[in-house]
Structure 1
């Protein structure tokens, strides 16, 4: 598998994967052409040195997965850096083959390379299989997350 930084040409494939589940279908707008908001978001992510939007390719250069790592500098932990992993997706038809585990192994190593002292994630409580997967990888539910959505 090849892990590489996403390019503008990859955005459509990324959005297609993000939209391809029960929760993603409710909040994403995958269509061709893509709504311009996705490309604008990509440009902002790409310009930020603390954001890494990654695609994973197989030996045929087919994009089979994606994830985003954010590196957050803060004052606690003596000015530590925490890594946040988001939007982890494996292409339909490629799930259950161990790709997700390899993606997380890569992300953990990348976070360590960037001197992060922890890797964190959030997951929807409606994703019990994902929660079990993360727990099996060694993640622990140490905090209660809260969100406020704006209309």
Structure 2
């Protein structure tokens, strides 16, 4: 296997990213890899926002992982800036290769460099393997999350 490169995602990476988002039981219910139109519109918003960092892991020219890092200035915790990790996905045939840890390490290091005082993420309650993965990386399940679909 070749070396892994973690780089900023480009619009041309959208088909691979969306395919990974759709490649699990939850994603299969909410993603539409056959119609990239809404993803392109979202990409334009993300690309224009300096607080959004979408990255991909690439090996041998193939996109095999992705995540989104959002930087959030805030007032709580004495005006702390925090980072939010979202949409962590690893291609099915690369799971268990260490790529997920490398992507999270990139996100934590980048968050420090950008002056963040904490990194947070959410994970669906059904993703128990992911919960164990995040705990191994030092994340603590300190809060109960709530969502309201609009």
Q: Same fold (TM over 0.5)?
A: yes
Write the distance in 2 (CA, Å) between the matches of 1:15 and 1:63: 11
Superposition pairs of residues 60-99 of structure 1, within 5 angstroms: 60-99=60-99
Shift of 1:78: 2.6
Gaps of 5+ in 2: none
Distance of 2:137 and 2:97 partners within structure 1: 15
Tell me which residue corresponds to 1:142. Answer: 142
Q: Give the Cα–Cα distance (whole angstroms) in 2 for the partners of residues 36 and 106 of structure 1.
A: 29
User: What is the match of residue 37 of structure 1?
Assistant: 38
Moved over 2 A (4+): none
The Cα RMSD (Å) is 0.9
Distance 1:103 1:128 in 2: 19
1:8 aligns with 2:11: yes
- Structure 1: 5+ residue runs without aligned partners? none
Cα separation, 1, equivalents of 2:16 and 2:144: 32
Name the SS for the 1:9 alignment partner. helix
In the TM superposition, what is the alpha-carbon distance from 1:35 to its structure 2 partner?
A: 3.3
Per-residue deviation, residues 94-134 of structure 1 (Å, max 9, x unmatched): 11111111111111111111111011000000111111111
Cα shift at 1:149: 1.2
Which whole-Å CA distance do the structure 2 matches of 1:70 and 1:40 have between them?
18
Partner of 1:51: 52
> Aligned residue for 1:103?
103
The alignment's TM-score, normalised by the length of structure 1, stands at: 0.94
CA–CA separation in structure 1 for the residues paired with 2:85 and 2:119: 7
